[in-house]
C-alpha cells in the first residue's frame, strides 16, 4: 500500500495577498457555503418514541426526515 503525501495548503492572511484566480475561487466557495447555509439553519436530532430504532432529523424550516438504523426506510416529510 502506497501512502500519498498530504496535499499542500496555503494560508492567506489577507484577501489582497491572493491572486485574482484565488480570489475568484474563494468567492465561489463563499457563495456556495452561504447558499447551503440559507436552506437549513439548524438540524436537531431526536429519537422519536414511536420509532425507538430510528433517528429523526428535524430542520428549523419545518421539514423532517426519519432514518432507520438499517437504512431500509428513509422517509422525508415537508411542512406544507
pLDDT digits (tens, 9 = 90+) for 16-74: 888 899 888 888 887 776 666 655 556 666 676 776 777 666 666 555 555 555 554 44
Alpha-carbon distance values, 13 to 17, 28, 36, 74 (Å): 7, 19, 25, 44
50 domain-assigned: yes
pLDDT above 50: residue 80: no
| Rounded Cα distance, 55 and 75, in Å | 11
Question: Which residue range(s) make up the domain with 80?
Answer: 41-80
7 domain-assigned: no
Give me the pLDDT at residue 22, please: 85
74 domain-assigned: yes
From 3, 66, 47, 22, select the one nearest 74 (Cα to Cα).
66
| pTM greater than 0.95 | no
Q: What is the mean pLDDT of residues 7-12?
A: 69
When divided into structural domains, the chain yields a total of: 1
34 domain-assigned: no
Give me the pLDDT at residue 20, please: 92
Amino acid at each position: 500500500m502506497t501512502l500519498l503525501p498530504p496535499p499542500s495548503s496555503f494560508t492567506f492572511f489577507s484577501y489582497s495577498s491572493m491572486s485574482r484566480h484565488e480570489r475568484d475561487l474563494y468567492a465561489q466557495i463563499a457563495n456556495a457555503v452561504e447558499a447551503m447555509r440559507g436552506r437549513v439553519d439548524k438540524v436537531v436530532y431526536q429519537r422519536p418514541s414511536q420509532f425507538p430504532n430510528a433517528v429523526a432529523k428535524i430542520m428549523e424550516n419545518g421539514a423532517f426526515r426519519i432514518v432507520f438504523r438499517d437504512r431500509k426506510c428513509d422517509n422525508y416529510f415537508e411542512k406544507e
